[in-house]
Structures are given as C-alpha cells and as structure tokens.
Structure 1
Amino acid sequence: MGLIDAINETNTKAVHMSERYVKESYTFHRLKIFKEITVSISLVFKLVVIGGFGLIATLLAAMGLALLIGKMIANYPLGFLIVGGLFMVVSIIAYLFRRHFNDMVVKKLSKPFFN
C-alpha cells in the first residue's frame, strides 16, 4: 500500500502544480493583453492628437504659402494652384514609396508586440 499511496500523493501534487501553472499562465496572459491594449490605445491617442495639430499646422502653412505665392505673382488663384500641385507631387512620391512605409511600420510595431 505504501507504493500506491506514494503514487497517489505524486499525482495529487502534479494536479495541484498543473492547476497552479494554468492559473499563473492565465494571469500572465491577461496582463500581457492589457499591456498591449493600453500601448495600442496610447499610440492611437497620440496619433490623433499629434496628427490633428500637424494637420491644422499644415493647412495654415499651405494657405499662407499660397497667399504669399499669389501675392508675389499677383494672381491668388494661381498661387493656390501651385501649392495644390506641390501637394500632388508629395502625394505621388508617398504613393510610390508606400511599400517602404509598410515595411517601416511592421518593423517598428513588431518589436513591442513580440517582446
């Protein structure tokens, strides 16, 4: 009977240890998910705030540049067309390099996600 009791006790310890492992793993993964969610929400919030102010600054700078060019050439509509053309050129360049932007984003986000 001593051998059966020893095996039973070992099995009981193994069950308790596996239950503890499952609980600790569950807690760890909950904390890991919470961390990833908070980092993601923080990133989106910063993007919206900084992007919003950047957009406002870009629009005001573009209008100022268009008015300045229009005043220099004595034709305000043409000044706005020139600035619009500059934005089109920048947009086309960004479109041509879109794959590089994707690679950069994947590299930047893979470090915190997989660590």
Structure 2
Amino acid sequence: MTVFESLNETTDKATDTAERYLKTSKDYFVLKVFQQLTLTLSFLTKFAVIGVLITLAFIFMAVAGAMAIGEKLDNLPLGYLIVGFIFLILSLIVYFFRNRINSKIISSVGDKFFDE
C-alpha cells in the first residue's frame, strides 16, 4: 500500500464520518424543532382553553358582585361602577408590573427552549 492509497483511504473514512455526523446532527435538529413546536402548541392550546374558561368565570363573578354591591347600596349602577373601578385598579397594577411579568415569561420559556 502506497502513501497515496493510505491517504485516500483516510480521506474516505473522514468523509464518511463527517457525512454521518451531519446526518445525525440534522436528525437531532429536526427532532428538537418538533419537540419545541409540540410543546409550544400544547402550551398555547391549554392556555387558550383555560383562559377562555377563567374569563367566563370572571365575567359571571363580576356581574354577580356588581349586582350584590348595587343591591346593598340600593343603587345598581353604582355597584357596576365600583366593580369597574376595581378592574381598572387591577389593570393599572398589572401595567406597572409588566416588566416583571415579561421577565418571568421569558425566563420560563427560555428554560424550556434551551434545556441543554
């Protein structure tokens, strides 16, 4: 066996190894994307269903609370106004803490996305 044949054989082995590595890396990347996609889709679906149900519950509780407050004060519109102001105050609190909420969401999603 000559030096050129040995060099050619080594080059062929290196090429085969590189091709296997690239194929395996591609397969891993496809699986990783599939995993992240299914996790995201699952999270969004659960979030939407739970969000809709909680929103409906809050609407019914707000209306019931407004009616109860209005009956206690003998002024139904005033009960609705009070509940409206409560929601306005809660909205302002959430607005002022929005950066903290964003950072919590980013770190939570980042931990799941970059789980290596």
Aligned mates of 2:112, 2:22 — CA distance in 1: 25
Map of 1:21 onto structure 2: 21
Map of 1:64 onto structure 2: 64
Is 1:112 aligned to residue 112 of structure 2? yes
Map of 1:5 onto structure 2: 5
* Amino acid corresponding to residue 44 of structure 1 in structure 2: L
* Amino acid corresponding to residue 21 of structure 2 in structure 1: Y
| CA-to-aligned-CA distance 1:17-65 (integer Å, 9 cap, x gap) | 1011110000000000000000000010011000000000000000000
Superposition CA RMSD, Å: 0.7
Map of 2:73 onto structure 1: 73
Aligned mates of 1:67, 1:11 — CA distance in 2: 82
Map of 1:93 onto structure 2: 93
Count of aligned pairs:
115
Give the TM-score of the pair, scaled to structure 2: 0.97
Q: How big is the shift at 1:4?
A: 1.1
Structure 1 runs not aligned, ≥5 long: none
* Amino acid corresponding to residue 59 of structure 2 in structure 1: L
The percentage of aligned residue pairs carrying the same residue is 37
Map of 1:39 onto structure 2: 39
Map of 2:49 onto structure 1: 49
